[in-house]
Structure 1
Amino acid sequence: MARITKGILGGFSGKVGTIVGANWRGQDIIRSIPKPSSRPPSEKQLLQQNKFKLVISFLQPLRNIQSRYFGSGSGSKSRVNMAASYTISEALQVTADVPSLVYNKILITKGDLTGFQNVTASAQSGNQISLSWEDNSSQGNASTTDSISIVCYGEELGRFEIFESVALRPDLSVDVTLPADCNGKVMEVYAFISNEVQTSASTSFYLGQLQII
């Protein structure tokens, strides 16, 4: 591996011939393309690969949200990568070498904006979820222009339903309607608050499982 300090071309990313350019911990580097291994992966390697596949697949629909609202976004790690690292290390469990998600430990967003005060969620007829909270616009760095977003995940359906900026902090409540095929299904429900200019958010809040009616 070689480090690029200065040069007429500077750093580059991607494959050129038999070398690869990348940025590693803030340094531009070049390295040769690794030769494929003929040895089968170990059980530990397989488990790590399965963890990674599970998390990346699960988080993919959240990429747009997490690229804005997960962590500080400083340093060499992107917000999306930080979200994946957190989920792998903090929100997985392994049973008989099979990884699975721990939904009450999942974070949709991670930030310093003042979060909810006494927030609750309930299922209402007509495939609706009703969210209510107390107005804490005067606390910390909260504002009356902060907006509420709701994220639902159905394991049986294998998909997210995302409702961004559906209410403001002083509104105290909001109802969202899920698609008809969510009826009777159990949804994992999360919510977060973001500021008006979409530069910061609260850490998301897990509101539990709701069966849609």
Structure 2
Amino acid sequence: MATIMKGILGGFSGKVGTVVGFNWRGKDVIRSRPKPSSKPPTDKQKLQQMKFKLVVGFLQPLKSVQQLFFGTRSGVKSRVNQAVAYTINEAVEVINDLPELVYNKVLITRGDLAGFQNVALTNQTGGVLSLSWEDNSIQGNASDTDLVNLVCYCPETETFELFLLLAQRSDLTATVTLPDVYVGKTVETWAYFNNQDQEKACNSPYLGTFTIT
């Protein structure tokens, strides 16, 4: 692999002859085109491919969140790639030779901001979810102005509802209303704090499965 230093050709994207050009972390890079393998994938390779497809498809709607709030910017892997790697390694199990997500192990965000204290989510009629927590704004790097976010995922429709910047840590409660399309369906739920500068977030706690009424 070689890096193009803005020479006579500059950067390019796509295939040209025997090389491929692309931009990686702000650098224009070229490498030789990979040769297709004539060997059929092993069962282990097939399973890994299925895990990757499952996780990437699941996390795609969360890309804008995880670009900001998953892991660190240091190292080779982007934050989105860190989220994919974590989810594959920690939040997928194989049942009857097929990979499945383990929702209570999924992290929406991952960081060192102080998290929730005694957080709880309750399900009410009309598609209403009510979130509550205790004030811990004097602990560690917490601030009373940290912002609360709620994430809901419906496995049946394979869709997310993101409720961002709902309240501040000091508010102690927040309420959201899901669209009518979710009535009668179950949703998986998580919450997270991020600071006002959108530089830090906490590890997102899993809040449970709820049937929307």
* TM-score, length-scaled by structure 1: 0.90
Aligned AA for 1:89?
Answer: N
Which residue of the partner structure matches residue 197 of structure 1? 197
One-letter amino acid matched to 2:189: V
Mapped to 1, the partners of 2:20 and 2:173 lie a distance apart of 52
- Offset at 1:97? 1.6
1:31 positional shift: 2.9
Q: Secondary structure at the match of 1:104?
A: helix
Cross-structure match for 1:106 = 106
Question: Equivalences for 1:25-174 in 2 at 5 Å?
Answer: 30-174=30-174
Q: Give the Cα–Cα distance (whole angstroms) in 1 for the partners of residues 101 and 10 of structure 2.
A: 37
**Structure 1 stretch displaced more, 32-41 or 185-194:** 32-41
Q: How far apart are residue 37 of structure 1 and its match? A: 2.3
Question: In structure 2, what is the Cα distance between the partners aligned to 1:108 and 1:10?
Answer: 41
Gaps of 5+ in 2: none
**2:174 is paired with a residue of what secondary structure?**
strand
Cα shift readout 1:43-101 (whole Å, capped 9, x = no counterpart) = 11111111110000000000000000001121221100000000001000012220000
Query: Could you say what the CA RMSD is over the residues aligned between the two structures, in angstroms?
Result: 2.3
Amino acid at match of 2:169: R
Q: CA deviation at 1:32?
A: 1.4
> What SS does the corresponding residue of 1:119 show, helix, strand or coil?
strand
Give matches, 1:202-213, under 5 Å.
Answer: 202-213=202-213
Q: Give the Å deviation of 1:38.
A: 3.0
* TM-score normalised over the length of structure 2: 0.90
* CA distance in 1: counterparts of 2:88 and 2:60, whole angstroms: 14
Question: What amino acid maps onto 1:144 in structure 2?
Answer: D
| Residues 38-47 or 56-65, more deviating | 38-47
- Corresponding position of 2:179: 179
1:188 paired to 2:201: no
Distance in 1 between the 2:10 and 2:70 partners? 27
Aligned length: 212
Distance 1:7 1:199 in 2: 32
Q: How far is 1:14 from its partner?
A: 4.2
> Cα offset for 1:7?
7.8
**Distance in 1 (alpha carbons) for counterparts of 2:55 and 2:120:** 27
Which ranges of structure 1 fall in alignment gaps of 5 or more residues?
Answer: none
Instruction: Decide whether aligned partners of structure 1 residues 209 and 63 sit closer, same or farther in structure 2, where only a CA change above 3 A counts.
Output: same
Aligned partners of 2:147 and 2:166 also within 8 Å = yes
- Once the two structures are TM-superposed, the CA of residue 11 in structure 1 deviates from its matched residue by 9.1
Q: Following the alignment from structure 1 to structure 2, what is the Cα–Cα distance between the partners of residues 32 and 93?
A: 35
Three-state SS of the structure 2 residue aligned to 1:49 is helix
